[in-house]
Amino acid sequence: MATDDDALIRRARRSRDEKQERGVYTPELLESLAEPLDLRPDPSAAAGPAWPEALATATVSVQQPPPSSRPALGPALTATKRAIERALRWYLPPVTEQITRHNRAVLDVLAEHNRQIVELHAELEALRRRVAALEAKAPAGPRAE
Amino acid sequence: MTSVHQAVPVLLHADAIGDETRAIRDGLRRRGLDSEIFMLPQERAQPNLDASARPLAELLTGANRGAIVLYHYALASQATQLLLDSPLPLVLIHHNVTPAHWFHMIDPAHEAGMAAAATDLPLLRDRTSLALGDSEYTRDELEALGFFPTGVLPIVLDQAPYHEHRAGPLHREITVAPTLLTVGRVAPNKCIEDCIRLLAAYRVGVDSRARLWIVGDADRLPVYRDALTRLVSRLGLDDAVHFAGRVTQQDLIDCYRGAIAYVSMSEHEGFCVPLLEAMVCELPILAHPSTAVPFTLGGAGLQVSPKDFPLMAEALGLLLGDAVLLADHLERGRRRAAELAPERSLDHLVDLLAPLHASPESFR
């Protein structure tokens, strides 16, 4: 019954207050219990679900063209593609290396931004809790939104 | 024969929705109805996959014309669109979706998944003949989204294994010291950190030997679990807090039977099956009355708000130390568990479904 529970809570409140006075529940303990949870997200948490795909596709490389399966023309097409690929070898690999370097640099910049967002988020949460605690202690008056 | 089938994205063993789906199927069959479970094809092997489910594509063929389909909704999946495109009459069983913000900065994939589930839910509004929530809280959410008509179908939990249980090895282990118990996926909405804080206060103010066992999958959200581990160390509770992980039903019942109290500090629940399990096992409960928790507990359990941990610790200590109060508390739990007995819920479900069928008398 709710009334029994209400009476129990009243007794519990008296017991808590008495133990607080006796120094059982110390201010240090109460402060420790009020500390926010120390979440340390991986920076990718701030980057959203596309982050693994961005990491996986950052490295660009030139692959040998796959063989053509077209009947009759297939072997000739495969030979032509491979010839073109060989002919461009002096040019394409340096370009893909440059693109890969650029992609990795961009990802490094993003990772640093993500790390900073995660830190700012944690600081914001801590500040919110401090404001809430201060508001709870303060006499009634205007409240921060 | 009258057919009432169920659709789920995936059917798993040792899973609250999976257990309920099987209990509903078996209960409907006992009432003479034809009932099968259908699920999506699974891309990857899962050790606890229940192979008794049939492919969802089979349900969508013309052979099932006239069947009522109960669609269990808790996450976004292709099943929603497939069912929307089918002409079958749908009854939604909504298990609630954890708000995405709980996973912000913890797991982007979870956050995106929950956001998608919340976005897809209203798509079902105009296609459902009846929308059921597993608690009043969830039903209110459905009403706010414009679903009509709505109703409540409390989680159908087979209570027999909890009554027939014989103590196993984990029972001996958990009874070595006074142990508080919390059960469920280790997820931020469950506020496991507050269970740990409650333990810290309880050890200081009531019983220095007390421990906390956290039973449930702790591997899916490592950022959150690691933060909990740091909190445990900071509060000097390394030897007092035990992450037991997923356990078998036998071991789970051992935990309920061997603990001194069940604690729930959760801030978001659609129903909270562990509360019902704890009541069935006659375990005292201390809970924070958020979301669906007051519905599930009915008048049972000691519900304390706000989260003043020394106050909660004292209240729990007084409850456990007062034989008369404790007996009354456990009796209220037994009564609530009886109200939530599976046969009552199944009868209620059949009553709700009968008017939706072309021949309602076939349900009697």
Are B218 and B259 contained in the same domain?
Answer: yes
What's the sign of the alpha-carbon dihedral B99, B245, B183, B226? negative
Chain B contact set for A19 (CB, 8 A): 205, 310, 314
CA angle A87, A89, A93 (to 5 degrees): 155
Residue type at A125 in one-letter notation = E
Give the residue with greater pLDDT, B265 vs B15: B265
Interface residue A24 vs chain B (CB under 8 A): yes
pLDDT value at residue B363: 65
Tens digit of each residue's pLDDT (9 = 90 or more) over A56-84: 899 998 888 888 888 888 999 999 999 99
pLDDT value at residue B154: 97
Q: Do A8 and B328 touch (CB under 8 A)?
A: no
Q: Which two tokens stand for residue B314?
A: 């004292």
Are B334 and B358 contained in the same domain?
Answer: no
Three-state DSSP class for residue B49: strand
Examine the pLDDT at B121 and tell me if it is beyond 80. yes
Element (H, E) at B261: strand B261-264
Angle between helices B249-258 and B273-280 (to 10 degrees): 60
Chain B contact set for A33 (CB, 8 A): 197, 200-201, 235, 309
Q: Do B108 and A121 touch (CB under 8 A)?
A: no
Of B201, B304, B332, the CB nearest to A9: B304
Three-state DSSP class for residue A114: helix
In total, the C-beta contacts within 8 angstroms joining chain A to chain B are 94
pLDDT value at residue A62: 86
Q: pLDDT band at residue B61, thresholds of 50, 70 and 90?
A: confident
Q: Which two tokens stand for residue A142?
A: 């205007």
Can you give the CATH number for the domain in which B290 is found? 3.40.50.2000
Tens digit of each residue's pLDDT (9 = 90 or more) over B183-217: 999 999 999 999 999 999 999 999 999 999 999 99
Residue type at B159 in one-letter notation = Q
Interface residue B230 vs chain A (CB under 8 A): yes
Q: Find the closest chain B residue to A33 by CA distance.
A: B197
Of B226, B303, B332, the CB nearest to A40: B226
Are B16 and B143 contained in the same domain?
Answer: yes
Is residue B312 within 8 A of residue B286, CB to CB? The reply is yes
Total structural domains within chain B: 2
Q: What is the Cα–Cα distance from B189 to B268, expressed in whole angstroms?
A: 6
Is residue B114 within 8 A of residue B71, CB to CB? The reply is no
Examine the pLDDT at B334 and tell me if it is beyond 80. yes
pLDDT value at residue B56: 95
Interface residue B200 vs chain A (CB under 8 A): yes
Span B318-341, average pLDDT: 97
Examine the pLDDT at B303 and tell me if it is beyond 60. yes
Report ipTM (2 d.p.).
0.89
Q: What is the Cα–Cα distance from B168 to B20, expressed in whole angstroms?
A: 25
pLDDT value at residue B280: 97
pLDDT value at residue A44: 77
pLDDT value at residue A46: 79
Are B123 and B189 contained in the same domain?
Answer: no
Q: Do A121 and B200 touch (CB under 8 A)?
A: no
Are B178 and B305 contained in the same domain?
Answer: yes
Are B177 and B256 contained in the same domain?
Answer: yes
Are B74 and B139 contained in the same domain?
Answer: yes
The distance from CA B102 to its chain's CA centroid, rounded to whole angstroms, is 18
Are B173 and B298 contained in the same domain?
Answer: yes
pLDDT value at residue A63: 83
Are B126 and B203 contained in the same domain?
Answer: no
Examine the pLDDT at A142 and tell me if it is beyond 70. no
Is residue B211 within 8 A of residue B202, CB to CB? The reply is no
Q: What is the Cα–Cα distance from B156 to B101, expressed in whole angstroms?
A: 29
Total count of residues recorded for chain A: 145
Are B174 and B113 contained in the same domain?
Answer: no
Interface residue A139 vs chain B (CB under 8 A): no
- Domain residues for the domain of B271 are 160-339
User: pTM for the complete prediction?
Assistant: 0.85
Examine the pLDDT at A43 and tell me if it is beyond 80. no
Of the candidates B49, B58, B45, B63, the residue with the CA atom closest to the CA atom of residue B7: B58
Q: Do A13 and B310 touch (CB under 8 A)?
A: no
Are B201 and B231 contained in the same domain?
Answer: yes
Are B321 and B217 contained in the same domain?
Answer: yes
pLDDT value at residue A52: 77
Of A4, A25, A118, the CB nearest to B205: A25
Chain B contact set for A24 (CB, 8 A): 204-205
